[in-house]
């Protein structure tokens, strides 16, 4: 009996294992417990530093723009690091450098580097404020771009806000 069905059964079970969307392939993309732990730690650290930047250093930004810039940029770095821990460095780099994600990535990282540069090297209060605002906007845009329809919704809100502001000032 094995000779009649043995080879056929093994080819059927092999075919079932190779079907896209089966249980094995569905669970292979689930992060491990260790990855989830690191994701949570990095994300919590990032949120903590962003919170500290806004609550402690934003009110005294006129006096010490460097402290806000460093604390906020460090928080943003931890938030990005959390996604590296969750998805893996290779997958996250590939995702961030994909054609549709690259403008968001370059804008966000550019604003981070610019904030540190103008606050630590140039010691410019006005440029520190400008780059910090750009970094906040880039972080919001970067985070919203992960949601389906998020960037289209953000573009709509931005254009509506811009047209409202320009109509208020008579332009």
- Whether residue 45 is contained in a domain is answered as yes
The predicted pLDDT at position 26 comes to 43
- Whether residue 171 is contained in a domain is answered as no
- Whether residue 9 is contained in a domain is answered as no
Q: Three-state DSSP class for 149?
A: coil
**pTM for this one?**
0.66
- Whether residue 93 is contained in a domain is answered as no
Both structure tokens of 46: 């990032």
Q: Which domain holds residue 74?
A: 33-87+102-165
Task: Answer whether residue 123 shows pLDDT above 50.
Answer: yes
- Whether residue 135 is contained in a domain is answered as yes
- Whether residue 14 is contained in a domain is answered as no
- Whether residue 117 is contained in a domain is answered as yes
Round to whole Å and give the CA distance between 5 and 132: 69
- Whether residue 120 is contained in a domain is answered as yes
Both structure tokens of 51: 């919170």
- The confidence band for 6, taking pLDDT boundaries of 50, 70 and 90, is low
Q: How many domains does the chain have?
A: 1
Q: pLDDT, tens digit, for every residue of 61-79?
A: 777 778 888 899 999 999 8
């Amino acid at each position: 009996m094995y000779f009649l069905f043995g080879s056929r059964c093994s080819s059927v079970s092999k075919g079932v294992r190779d079907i896209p969307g089966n249980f094995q392939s569905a669970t292979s993309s689930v992060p491990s417990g260790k990855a989830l732990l690191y994701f949570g730690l990095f994300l919590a650290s990032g949120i903590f530093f962003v919170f500290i930047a806004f609550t402690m250093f934003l009110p005294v930004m006129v006096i010490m723009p460097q402290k806000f810039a460093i604390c906020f940029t460090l928080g943003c770095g931890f938030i990005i690091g959390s996604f590296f821990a969750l998805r893996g460095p290779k997958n996250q780099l590939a995702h961030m450098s994909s054609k549709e994600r690259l403008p968001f990535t370059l804008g966000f990282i550019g604003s981070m580097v610019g904030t540190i540069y103008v606050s630590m090297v140039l010691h410019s209060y006005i440029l520190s404020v400008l780059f910090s605002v750009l970094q906040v906007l880039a972080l919001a845009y970067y985070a919203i771009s992960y949601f389906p329809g998020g960037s289209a919704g953000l573009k709509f809100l931005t254009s509506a806000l811009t047209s409202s502001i320009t109509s208020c000032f008579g332009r």
